Amino acid sequence: MKNTHKDLMTIFQAGLEAVKGSVVVKKAFQKEFFLGVNFHVVAIGKAADSMLQGVPENRIISALLISKHGHISAQSQRKSHIECVESDHPIPDQASLYAGKKLVDYLSKLPAKEPCLVLISGGASSLVEVLRDGWSLAELKELTDYLLANAFPINEINAIRRRVSKIKGGGLWAYLDEREVSCLIISDVPNDDPVDIGSGLLFHAGHQALPLNLPKRWSDKIPFTVSNADKKLFDWEIIASLNIAKKAAGKRAKELGYPISIVTDFMDGEASMVAKTGVKTLKSSPDTLFIWGGETTVNLPKNAGKGGRNQHLALSAAIAMQGEQEITLLSAGTDGSDGVTNATGAMVDNQTIKKGEKLRLEASGFLRRADSYGYFSQTDELVITGATGTNVMDLLIGIARS
């Protein structure tokens, strides 16, 4: 079983490497590329630092780098031509508004008509914001917290974010003037729709109705239309996605000798239900390694503990798989973080619950309290990678032995 644990981590790491920001941006520049000889760079998102490292340094005139706290390297911070701004995620805070002001100021000071490369990855929705008139930070935080705690899908969350922002839904064009712009994107949304990645800083969305289950106190205040600038034509490309990570993980698994099944259906829904279905699939097809990808949700109880959707899924799976059949499963985020914790997920097996019982831990109680981090930090089953330099949602990798 220990070798299986090691192999699952190796397979997971292969998926990460294939979509790492520096790797995929370098590949983009090895092809024919856009823009003049030199350009300015705006990099926003959890993978922004790594993406910026993939840009040929001799072509960068100046750069603004906005990322999550702890996701900006010392290397970038030392460079005088890069302005670094650390911001808040997943709940926007004062730093998010500060980052929004820095973004607008930076663009306003660029020499006229000099080209700009925009690098976007997941997390940008929270990391940078310029609020529409009539909205306060306190209201934005409360709304975001409500949407995340009540398992709203990401496309619905971002449809709302675009309506309360001056820079989302294509609104950033109002600050770019008449300059040539190109954009490289790492996708962290289903179907790789650029309108939903970072809430579409450069992309205009068509009309999308507000969710029917949104409380009236919010639906009455959220504008009907998106506030944005005129639509522009520009070069853009999605250079990394969940499917690329899944294929790379599958390739590595084959190299290690595993029969594999890469599940094409997007993994979504409530994390505990996804866990039960996944364990059932593993039990019914022993000796085949399964790879799923997507993004689940968790309905949080009041006074929830610490954890994230991947840890919650893993603990649910551990409860479902306990028994004699050898089963191992890894659930982890590709960005290196899961909820407000230092872990990106957890790896469990059919002995996880017994291990907890020896420590007098009741797994079902931790699950009810959404305190999966509290459980796994004691059973030593957390997956901790630190910032990965990418963000293409979550991978779930598992195998049962006959």
- Digit-coded pLDDT (tens) for 334-393: 999 998 899 999 999 999 999 999 999 999 999 999 999 999 999 999 999 999 999 999
pLDDT in tens, 22-65: 999 999 998 866 677 899 999 999 999 999 999 999 999 999 99
> Does residue 116 surpass a pLDDT of 90?
yes
> Does residue 267 surpass a pLDDT of 90?
yes
Q: What is the pLDDT of residue 227?
A: 60
Rg over alpha carbons for the chain, rounded to the nearest Å, is 21
- 2-15+243-400 against 21-240: fold identical: no
**pTM score, two decimals?**
0.93
The top-level CATH class assigned to 21-240 is: alpha beta
Q: What is the pLDDT of residue 272?
A: 97
- 2-15+243-400 CATH fold: glycerate kinase, domain 1 (3.40.1480)
d(CA 354, CA 280): 20
User: Which percentage of the chain shows pLDDT scores above 70?
Assistant: 97
d(CA 5, CA 271): 22
Q: What is the pLDDT of residue 212?
A: 80
- pLDDT band of residue 133 (cuts 50, 70, 90) is very high
How far apart, in Å, are the Cα atoms of 365 and each of 187, 313, 347?
35, 14, 19
Q: What is the pLDDT of residue 33?
A: 64
> Does residue 229 surpass a pLDDT of 70?
no
d(CA 227, CA 184): 23
Residue ranges covered by each domain of the chain: 2-15+243-400, 21-240
Q: What is the mean pLDDT of the chain?
A: 94
d(CA 209, CA 12): 37
pLDDT in tens, 377-389: 999 999 999 999 9
Q: Which one-letter DSSP state was computed for residue 209?
A: P
